């Protein structure tokens, strides 16, 4: 059984760990090193990540609904087909991340860098992006109903309809 729901981990090193399908729901992970870890199909709902390094991690098809990521590194991580509905991302480095076909419905994304992120086909319905960057990001085919994309900083960003825009010149 891989059920570690509610666990609290501080300053733990799990680089490259195979955590496929693990249940860490409602867990608190503080200053945990998880570079290149495999979280495919993991249960991470309501999990709190603080100052965690998840760079190069594979988190595909995981459930991160209502999760909180604060001051985390997601650089070059893969979060394809992940459920991040109602999640909170604050001061996250998500540069070069793949969120292809991810569910970010009702998520709050604050002071987060999504530069060069792949958000193709992602569901951003009612998501809030504040003081965040989408430079060179790809949102082609993303669902953005109720999501104000005039707020994030953009430079050569591919919008859902295929337009390439910079700053606030996007008109759907």
What pLDDT does 172 receive? Answer: 57
- Cβ 27 vs Cβ 8: under 8 Å: yes
- H/E/C letters for each residue in the chain? CCECCCCEEECCECCCCECCCCECCCCEEECCECCCCECCCCECCCCEEECCECCCCECCCCECCCCEEECCECCCCECCCCECCCCEEECCECCCCECCCCECCCCEEECCECCCCECCCCECCCCEEECCECCCCECCCCECCCCCCCCCECCCEECCCCCEECCCCCCC
Rounded Cα gap, residues 81 and 154, in angstroms? 24
pLDDT given for residue 148 in this prediction: 86
Look at residue 151 in the predicted model and tell me its pLDDT.
78
Q: Nearest-CA neighbor of 85 among 33, 115, 44?
A: 44
pLDDT at 166: 86
The two tokens of residue 113 are: 């860098």
Per-residue pLDDT tens, the chain, 172 aa: give them.
689 999 999 999 999 999 999 999 999 999 999 999 999 999 999 999 999 999 999 999 999 999 999 999 999 999 999 999 999 999 999 999 999 999 999 999 999 999 999 999 999 999 999 999 999 999 999 999 999 887 788 889 999 999 998 876 555 5
Per-residue b or e along 89-105, where b marks 16 or more CB atoms closer than 10 Å to that residue's CB: bbebbbbbbbbbbbbbb
């Amino acid at each position: 059984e891989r059920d570690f729901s509610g666990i609290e981990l501080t300053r733990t090193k799990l680089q490259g760990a195979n955590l496929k399908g693990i249940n860490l729901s409602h867990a608190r992970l503080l200053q945990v090193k998880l570079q290149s870890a495999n979280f495919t199909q993991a249960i991470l709902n309501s999990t709190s990540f603080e100052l965690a390094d998840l760079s190069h991690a594979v988190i595909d098809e995981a459930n991160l609904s209502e999760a909180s990521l604060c001051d985390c590194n997601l650089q070059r991580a893969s979060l394809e087909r992940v459920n991040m509905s109602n999640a909170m991302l604050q001061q996250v480095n998500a540069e070069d991340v793949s969120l292809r076909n991810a569910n970010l419905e009702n998520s709050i994304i604050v002071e987060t860098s999504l530069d060069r992120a792949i958000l193709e086909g992602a569901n951003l319905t009612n998501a809030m992006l504040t003081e965040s960057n989408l430079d060179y990001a790809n949102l082609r085919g993303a669902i953005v109903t109720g999501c104000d994309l005039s707020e994030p900083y953009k430079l050569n960003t591919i919008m859902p309809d295929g337009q390439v825009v910079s700053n606030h010149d996007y008109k759907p």
